[in-house]
């Protein structure tokens, strides 16, 4: 491999000749060989750095044009556009397990933007610290990148995925409106419910989750940029905070604004904890929904078997013909991961020491993994399972009319205790509720038929 020599304030460093990073990135690359190639800084953070570096250059050009000239701005903007597009992802090799402030990733962005900008210009004009990092600090850029990445993945990926599944459930509600089935509580038989009502519970849960996520995004619109090292705004021109936030909003099309208190913005990650809690709520509901569906589809002969789901792949290497609810299993495993990530996000957020949180990379790594995995799992679940759900009407009818809890309809006529005696006798003697009720002398056969209508119990 060919190398070139780069230098920083600590001296010279050999850097691969075909890479846009420079000395500080190389030092981190060599010093933190932890999860290399597997747990690198999420691409969402890299792209967010492209957004904020471009926004900072535009703001600097307006506020200090003698330092951020039009020529520099043009080169930085062009380089940042490539960062945002993902074109330069290979030039961001650093792992999550680095400094807790994300300083090396900020310098990685500074070096790539400066070197790529110089390539575009055809001359060495841009300096990583003096130009790419003008009016900034790692301490305010990394938390800003965290918020940008969080907002984008929630609004552009997770919410649309959930809304897609919501629409599927709306369709299934309409298609199954007239079907009555046995309800279940405590995994035991309960009073009847319409299948469409059961589906509406799934749909409404997801709608509530989307509402919670939307509410949690509001605090994430506030960005720390402009606070620089400790929140005082040292080395940033007056008005920079407001200007750069407006530029971030313009670039992303999102309602970003400057954080009211930069001392809070640098050290507290409460907004991310709150938002991840909403992600976890969605994961919990997806766990419940996926479990409901695989229970209802269990069988095909020895389970509940009340619904059919798509058969996507063979389910066993030894049992011919076996098909498993694999999409449900994928969703539930992702839900478990999200719940575990919530602990990591919470613990990381608790580590704000004085003027800076120093667990930021692990915090955003887990946050973004949760949102990404959950979004992709929901899309897969919708495409490969939910859209193909159909009711097994015959099995639903059989289970409904075989349920002892239909005896609840008799409460107004024979009382709770007599109804309980009826259910217990029917179960013990393996006879129908009607036969038990008549044998016990609580109702005549004619009166029983008059008051007993399971389909009207919904």
Q: Is 380 a catalytic residue?
A: no
Size of the chain, expressed as the number of residues it contains:
458
Q: Is 316 a catalytic residue?
A: yes
Catalytic residue among 186, 243, 298, 403: 186
C-alpha to C-alpha distance for 414 and 422, rounded to whole angstroms? 10
C-alpha to C-alpha distance for 167 and 387, rounded to whole angstroms? 10
Contact, 178 vs 442, CB < 8 A?
no
The first and second tokens of residue 119, run together, are 């390539």
C-alpha to C-alpha distance for 27 and 41, rounded to whole angstroms? 16
Which residues have CB under 8 Å from 185's CB, separation 6+? none
SS3 53: helix
The gap between the terminal CA atoms of the chain, to the nearest Å, is 73
253, burial (CB in 10 Å: exposed 0-12, middle 13-18, buried 19+): exposed
SS3 375: helix
Contact, 236 vs 136, CB < 8 A?
yes
C-alpha to C-alpha distance for 450 and 49, rounded to whole angstroms? 72
Question: Could you tell me which of 159, 161, 157, 154 has the C-alpha nearest to residue 382?
Answer: 161
The answer to whether the Cα torsion of 374, 380, 383, 385 is positive or negative is negative
360, burial (CB in 10 Å: exposed 0-12, middle 13-18, buried 19+): buried
Q: Which residues pair with 216 in a beta bridge?
A: none
The structure tokens 């319409």 sit at 194
The first and second tokens of residue 375, run together, are 């979004």
SS3 458: coil
Which residues have CB under 8 Å from 245's CB, separation 6+? 55, 223, 225, 226, 256, 257, 258
Catalytic residue among 7, 316, 350, 453: 316
Which alpha helices (DSSP H) does 176-224 contain, by range?
195-220
Question: Annotated catalytic sites, by residue?
Answer: 186, 316
């Amino acid at each position: 491999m060919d190398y070139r020599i780069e230098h920083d304030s600590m001296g010279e460093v050999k850097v691969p000749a075909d890479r846009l990073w420079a000395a500080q990135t190389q030092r981190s690359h060599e010093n933190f060989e932890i999860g290399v190639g597997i747990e690198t800084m999420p691409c969402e953070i890299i792209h967010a750095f492209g957004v904020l570096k471009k926004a900072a250059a535009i703001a600097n050009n307006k506020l200090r044009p003698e330092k951020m000239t039009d020529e520099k701005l043009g080169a930085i903007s062009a380089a940042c556009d490539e960062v945002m597009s993902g074109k330069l992802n290979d030039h961001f090799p650093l792992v999550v397990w680095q400094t807790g402030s994300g300083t090396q990733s900020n310098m990685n962005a500074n070096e790539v933007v400066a070197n790529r900008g110089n390539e575009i210009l055809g001359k060495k004009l841009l300096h990583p610290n003096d130009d790419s990092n003008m009016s900034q600090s790692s301490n305010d850029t990394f938390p800003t990148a965290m918020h940008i990445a969080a907002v984008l993945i929630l609004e552009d990926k997770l919410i649309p995925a959930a809304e897609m599944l919501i629409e599927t459930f709306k369709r299934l509600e309409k298609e199954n409106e007239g079907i009555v089935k046995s309800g279940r509580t405590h995994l035991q038989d309960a009073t009847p419910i319409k299948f469409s009502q059961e589906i509406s519970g799934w749909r409404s849960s997801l709608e509530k989750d989307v509402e919670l996520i939307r509410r949690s995004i509001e605090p994430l619109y506030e960005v720390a940029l402009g606070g620089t090292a400790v929140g005082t705004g040292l080395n940033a021109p007056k008005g920079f905070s407001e200007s750069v936030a407006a530029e971030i909003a313009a670039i992303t099309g999102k309602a970003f604004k400057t954080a009211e208190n930069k001392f809070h913005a640098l050290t507290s990650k409460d907004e991310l904890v709150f938002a991840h809690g909403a992600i976890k709520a969605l994961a919990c509901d997806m766990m419940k929904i996926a479990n409901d569906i695989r229970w209802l589809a269990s069988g095909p002969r020895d389970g509940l078997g009340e619904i059919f789901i798509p058969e996507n792949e063979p389910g066993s290497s030894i049992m011919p013909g076996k098909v498993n609810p694999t999409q449900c299993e994928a969703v539930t495993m992702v839900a478990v991961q999200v719940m575990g990530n919530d602990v990591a996000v919470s613990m990381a957020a608790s580590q704000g020491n004085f003027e800076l949180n120093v667990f930021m990379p692990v915090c955003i790594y887990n946050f973004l993994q949760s949102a990404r995995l959950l979004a992709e799992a929901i899309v897969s679940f919708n495409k490969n399972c939910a859209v193909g759900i159909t009711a097994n009407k015959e099995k639903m009818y059989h289970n409904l009319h075989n349920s002892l809890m239909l005896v609840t309809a008799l409460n107004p006529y024979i009382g709770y205790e007599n109804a309980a005696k009826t259910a217990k006798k029917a179960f013990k003697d393996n006879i129908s509720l009607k036969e038990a009720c008549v044998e016990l002398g609580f109702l005549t056969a004619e009166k029983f038929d008059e008051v007993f209508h399971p389909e009207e119990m919904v």
